[in-house]
Every structure is written in C-alpha cells, then in structure tokens.
Amino acid sequence: MTELTHLTIAEARDGLKAKTFSAVELAQAHIDAIEKARALNAYLVETPEKALSMAKASDEKIARGEGGALEGIPLGIKDLFCTEGTVTTAGSKILGNFNPAYESTVTRNLWNDGAVMLGKLNLDEFAMGSSNETSAFGPVVSPWRREGSNVSAGASGAIEGTHLVPGGSSGGSAAAVAAHLCLGATATDTGGSIRQPAAFTGTVGIKPTYGRVSRWGTVAFASSLDQAGPITRTVRDSAIMLRSMSGPDPKDTTCVDLPVPDFEAAISRGVKGLKIGIPKEYRVDGMSPEIEQLWHQGAEWLRAAGAEIVEVSLPHTKYALPAYYIVAPAEASSNLARYDGVRYGLRENGRDIVDLYEKTRAAGFGREVKRRIMIGTYVLSAGYYDAYYVRAQKLRTLIKRDFEEVYAKGVHAILTPATPSSAFGIGEKGSGDPVEMYLNDIFTVTVNMAGLPGIAVPAGLDAQGLPLGLQLIGRAFDEETLFAAGQVIEDSAGRIELPQAWWA
C-alpha cells in the first residue's frame, strides 16, 4: 500500500470510505511526518491533539455511514485564517500571541465537511512577499533542491547549504503539500500568492473568482484583491477542496450568492471545442527559453486534446504590476491601521497614545510590511491621491476590459506561464531593490486586478530539476473550465512528485 502521506485527497477519501485505514491512522502518519520535517519550518503551530480528536470524530461518523465531503482528510491551514483557540499570527510579530475567539468562514466550512486540522502554516508577513522570507518566524525551506545541490539536513537536523525558497506568500502551504506534510492546504492570493508558490513546488493551486470564497475571518491584506483557495497535489484534489471552501456568506458582503458547482465533475469534461487564448504580451523580455518552450508545449497538449489555440492581446498587461503596487499597499495601509497596540496584539508603551501607536507598529511590523504601509499612506495622502491611486484604479478598469474583450470573442480560457522562472535561492532577490522581488508576480497579478479565476498546474521540470508551472485564466465564476483544462495539462505532463524526503 502507498504510504498514507503520499495519497491524494481523492485516494484518501476512498480509502477511508472503504475502511482500508482509519482517519486516526491517516492523521497520525501526517503528525509523524511533520515532526520529522521541522527543519523545513513549514508549520508555525502544530495541533496534533486537535488533529487526533477531529480524526476520531470522523472515524465515528464514517462508521455510522455519515460524513462530509472531506471527512477525515488532514489539512494544513495558512496562518492567515483565524482558528478559534489556535494562535493566528499572519506571520507577524504584531500578532505573535493573537488567539482568535472566532473561526474564519473558510476553515469553518472545511471542518463542517469533516476535514482535520494538522496545524498552521508559515507565510510571508501579512501575506506580503513572494518567497516566504518576510515571515517574522523565519523562512520556509523548499523541499525541492537543485540537481547536485549541497543542501542537506546536517547532523543536528538543521538545514545546511543555500536552500531554495518555496515561493510566497503561501510558502508554508506549498512546501507542506509538496513535502507530504498534509494532503492539502488552504492558501490566499492577493497578487499570486497561491499560484507562484504552487508553481515553485510542483503543486496545483487555484485562486478562484473574487467573491467565490468568503474573506470573513481571514486576516486582510488588500480587500479588493484577496481571495482564498487551495494548494494540493492534483487538479482533482483542488476541485474537491475548493468546493468545500466556497459558498455564500452573510458575513462577507463581497461574497456572491451563487450556487457552488460540483468542481470535481468538471475535471473529466476535457477541452474539446474550447477556444484557448495565448496572450502575446506575456512573452516578456528575459523570459527563460525553458519557460517559453513549456508554454508552447502546454498549448500543444491542449490542441491535441481538441482545443482551438488562438493568439490574443491583453494590451495593458505591463501596467498591471505597477498599478498593483499602488492599489494593494493603499488598501493594506488602511487594513493594517487596526494594529495599534490597544485592542489586540503587541504593545510597546509610549509617553502618550500617538507614541504608543508609533512604537508598537515600529516594533511589531517587519521591513516589507512597513514599506508597503508607507507607500500606501503616501499614494492616498492629500495631493497625491489623484495622481497615484485614482490613476491606478483607472488602469484596473482597462486591465479588466482587456480580458472582457478577449472573452467576448469566444475565448474560454487563457494559457500563460505561471512564473517567469523556477524557484530561486534564499537571499538571492530583492535585498537591494524591492521591485526585483515584485517582478515574480508579473504573470499572476493581472488576474487579481481583474478579479478572475486562475489556476497553476505543474507542467515540467527545468534543467536544474526544478518544477515549472503553467497558468490558466478563466472567465469570472467559470472555475470549472480551469479544472477541465488543468486536468488535460496534468494528464499530458504527468504528475510531478518530489524526488525524496532528504530532510527526514
């Protein structure tokens, strides 16, 4: 029998139903694997007792012939989702001891469907980053290594050598899924934070349409862009998990009142007769020939499966990233105003209330977060609001219009690379110029700006043996087509599995 930690969610679901193994055994196998993988720093908090008690309850339900769609499935939760009674840090010192008195809608939905919580996963501070290096609790080590790399777990168990980043901000989620430390993980995506780490770690990640998933109880970064989704090892697993995460929520007025389709049923639809667009503006300068080749290969796979491939144009693509770096920090500066040292979180005393605020925020936020709050404050300040913020929001209208025009011509989905490169090493990017790190999101950020769904699917390995992903962008609320086309890519490319658990 396959090791329990190497099952897909679909396989585990079937095994549990057939009573081949119990939910407690499945949870225990993951708890053991997590314990041996602490050097990766993927989990910030492990909740083994909670996992075992939830698994026991699942076993009882399964024995009675009951249970939800995710009954007994052990998951990791990005530490941006508030979990009642379990510390939720957002990767920040300012929330280091924050113990929510409530449960986020996403996690509540998962538990209602029977899922089991293994713990809270590391992330970039407040989800601001593309490498997981901005976490106040240390970076996550990617379970992937370049061929011939010297990275290893030393005698003390600590990582030796220059390791790779898992991407970000959902770096802990992607690393944990790739390293078999959970069957699936929740993640969030504001500019690429699900799809970029999924691409870096050979996993599948989908950012659904804005409004598909409730944001209630999820620590806010940029509210008009934030959307939660799953990271899993297969397209089918993402479909299963997203269905449970989604759905209307009276607590979030931006969460739509639309029925949630059976996403899993969509994966076998195929792409026959679908029109897939290839946007010429995504052929950027300096893109690696390997990515270019993979992109071409992806289009060929879809064509072979019966899709029609057409070149399309999204003329405002190059402005999405700069517009994002106005809109997202502006919203962040407003959202993060709540961390004031009074109602929750860290407090540094001062001589008066303003001094208390300033000292608390100086001590509690990391460099990247401070930088973004300050940019956001600047672009919203008197005299600059029209020049920056309003202009960026106009660009956003144009970016969305680009997509609408392409879809109006009968295009069902758009194929692009997920990232401009494979994973890079820790400390390699962004130390001098923050923009160098931001460029990681050039292919993903347009999707958030337009509120559309996007999926990253592993499609091959580069010359260094590292995973590369392709992205499919869909019409609003048509995640089903993304699952159908994503499955074709997965079937054509073959599943990409991590070669070995070198850290254990």
Partner 1 sequence: MSVDEKTVRRIAHLARIAVTDAEVPHLQGELNAILSFVEQLNEVDVEGVEPMTSVTPMVMKKRQDGVTDGGYPEKIVQNAPATEDNFFLVPKVVE
Footprint of partner 1 on 174-193 (CB under 8 A): none
Residues 291-350 that bind partner 1 (CB under 8 A): 316, 318-319, 322-323, 325-326, 333, 337, 340-347, 349-350
**Rg of the chain on CA atoms, in Å:** 21
Q: 78 an active-site residue?
A: yes
Shortest spacing between CB 379 and partner 1, in angstroms: 8
Q: 214 an active-site residue?
A: no
> Which residue in the set 265, 304, 374, 463 belongs to the binding site for partner 1 (CB under 8 A)?
374
Catalytic member of 58, 170, 193, 422 = 193
- Both tokens assigned to 336: 């993060």
Residues 137-176 that bind partner 1 (CB under 8 A): none
CA separation for the pair 90, 77 (Å, rounded): 11
Judge whether 225 and 331 are in contact, CB under 8 Å: yes
* Stretch of residues binding partner 1 (CB under 8 A), selected from 186-194, 251-259, 402-410, 459-467: 251-259
Shortest spacing between CB 226 and partner 1, in angstroms: 11
> Is 502 one of the binding residues for partner 1 (CB under 8 A)?
no
Kindly list the distances between the CA atom of residue 441 and the CA atoms of 218, 223, 353, 504, in Å, as whole numbers in the listed order: 22, 18, 38, 32
Closest to partner 1 by CB, 63 or 387 = 387
Shortest spacing between CB 325 and partner 1, in angstroms: 6
> Is 463 one of the binding residues for partner 1 (CB under 8 A)?
no
Catalytic member of 92, 131, 169, 238 = 169
The distance from CA 419 to its chain's CA centroid, rounded to whole angstroms, is: 14
Neighbouring-strand partners of residue 277: 310, 414
For partner 1 (CB under 8 A), the number of binding residues is 75
Closest to partner 1 by CB, 50 or 359 = 359
Closest to partner 1 by CB, 11 or 340 = 340
Judge whether 129 and 437 are in contact, CB under 8 Å: yes
- Both tokens assigned to 465: 């043996």
> Is 476 one of the binding residues for partner 1 (CB under 8 A)?
yes
Q: Where are the beta strands (DSSP E) in 141-283?
A: 152-153, 159-160, 184-189, 204-207, 227-232, 275-279
Residues 57-116 that bind partner 1 (CB under 8 A): 97-99, 101
Q: Kindly give, in sequence order, each residue whose CB lies less than 8 Å from that of residue 335, ignoring residues fewer than 6 positions away.
A: 220, 221, 222, 223
> Is 451 one of the binding residues for partner 1 (CB under 8 A)?
yes
CA separation for the pair 68, 149 (Å, rounded): 43
**Is residue 15 exposed (0-12), middle (13-18) or buried (19+ Cβ within 10 Å)?**
buried
Write the binding mask 197 to 216 for partner 1: x where contact by CB under 8 A, - elsewhere: ------------xxx-----
Q: 251 an active-site residue?
A: no
Residues 255-294 that bind partner 1 (CB under 8 A): 256-257
Residues 391-430 that bind partner 1 (CB under 8 A): 391-398, 400
Closest to partner 1 by CB, 61 or 359 = 359
Q: Kindly give, in sequence order, each residue whose CB lies less than 8 Å from that of residue 480, ignoring residues fewer than 6 positions away.
A: 261, 263, 266, 269
Residue 271 CB: number of other CB atoms within 10 A? 24
> Is 433 one of the binding residues for partner 1 (CB under 8 A)?
yes
> Is 353 one of the binding residues for partner 1 (CB under 8 A)?
yes
Closest to partner 1 by CB, 308 or 428 = 428
Phi, psi (degrees; rounded to nearest 5) at 205: -140, 135
- Which sequence positions are flagged as catalytic? 78, 169, 193
